[in-house]
């Protein structure tokens, strides 16, 4: 049985006040994990605030080297040193705006794993790819790029977030059927590549998740939780999403 997760991706939003507000008012769901990804600037403070709890914290991005002349970047080891446990990798905003190619994503993924963090690999097709019936090909390409860079594929220490690009920040979430269909395809893909790990790996859905659509989405067999962007900045709404996942 996979424990569901509700993850907050604050993107380039938030403040120390928001971190403190979350620490005071987040209602920890009994049957689900909660992960929060603030900016790198707020990660240390947020991790300290949640240190005595089992809320997980992580970075939205790391660079694919451990140190050196990479102005403006942070490394997976630095994130681990803060006491954070997770890192997103391959978010579509990074792929589209910051040049995170499949190859760069694979290198970052490896560094995140090597640092002992749990990578949350984001994959998802563009609208064009979906309309050309290439949605699964795109997702499979993104998964394979990471798998090929591993010495031994290990799925049990990672999570995957399926985030169709056309659903991110648009207010138009994938229907439960579309999300379930792709998440099942991702699980089948893992099943073909691993020895019995596909039932253990948590596959989250992301893209315009809100309090109003969380219950229908989480009822799907292969949706093991959410990566929530915009709606995660409002702790009341985030609590409602956690409640939907918990029940």
Residues 6+ apart with CB under 8 A from 39: 10, 12, 13, 14, 60
**Residue 58 touching ligand PGA (CB under 6 A):** no
Tell me whether residue 91 is one of the annotated catalytic residues.
Answer: yes
**What beta strand segments (E) does 40-158 contain?**
56-59, 86-89, 118-123
Query: Which tokens in the block code for residue 3?
Result: 């424990």
Cα–Cα separations (whole angstroms), residue 187 to 159, 163, 202, 236: 11, 15, 9, 32
The answer to whether 246 touches 11, Cβ cutoff 8 Å, is no
Using the minimum distance from each CB to ligand PGA, give the nearer residue, 38 or 193.
38
CA distance linking residue 137 with residue 47, whole number of Å: 37
CA 235 distance to own-chain centroid: 18
CB of 68 to ligand PGA, least distance (A): 29
Stretch that binds ligand PGA, among 43-51, 142-150, 176-184, 225-233 (CB under 6 A): 225-233
Q: Which of 93, 129, 163, 237 is catalytic?
A: 163
3-class DSSP assignment, residue 28: coil
**Residue 164 touching ligand PGA (CB under 6 A):** no
Tell me whether residue 152 is one of the annotated catalytic residues.
Answer: no
Binders of ligand PGA in range 204-223 (CB under 6 A) = 206-209
Stretch that binds ligand PGA, among 59-67, 179-187, 203-211, 234-242 (CB under 6 A): 203-211
Binders of ligand PGA in range 144-163 (CB under 6 A) = 163
CB of 232 to ligand PGA, least distance (A): 7
Catalytic residues: 91, 163
Name the site residues for ligand PGA (rule: CB under 6 A): 9, 163, 168-169, 206-209, 227-231
């Amino acid at each position: 049985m996979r424990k569901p997760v509700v993850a907050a991706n604050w993107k380039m939003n938030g403040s120390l006040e928001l971190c403190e507000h979350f620490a005071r008012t987040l209602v920890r769901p009994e049957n689900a994990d909660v992960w929060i990804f603030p900016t790198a600037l707020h990660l240390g403070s947020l991790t300290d605030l949640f240190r005595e709890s089992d809320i997980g914290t992580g970075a939205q991005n790391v660079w694919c080297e451990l140190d050196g002349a990479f102005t403006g970047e942070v490394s997976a080891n630095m994130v681990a040193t803060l006491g954070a446990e997770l890192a997103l990798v391959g978010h579509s905003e990074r792929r589209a705006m910051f040049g995170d190619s499949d190859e760069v994503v694979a290198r970052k993924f490896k560094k995140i794993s090597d640092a002992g963090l749990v990578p949350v690999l984001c994959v998802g097709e563009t609208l064009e790819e979906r309309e050309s019936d290439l949605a699964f090909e795109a997702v499979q390409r993104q998964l394979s790029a990471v798998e090929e860079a591993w010495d031994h594929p290990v799925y049990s220490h990672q999570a995957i977030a399926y985030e169709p690009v056309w659903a991110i920040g648009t207010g138009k979430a994938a229907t439960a059927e579309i999300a379930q269909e792709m998440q099942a395809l991702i699980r089948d893909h893992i099943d073909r590549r691993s020895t019995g790990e596909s039932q253990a790996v948590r596959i989250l859905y992301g893209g315009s998740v809100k309090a109003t659509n969380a219950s229908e989405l989480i009822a799907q067999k292969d949706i093991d939780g959410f990566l929530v962007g915009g709606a995660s900045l409002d702790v009341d709404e985030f609590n409602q999403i956690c409640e939907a996942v918990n029940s």
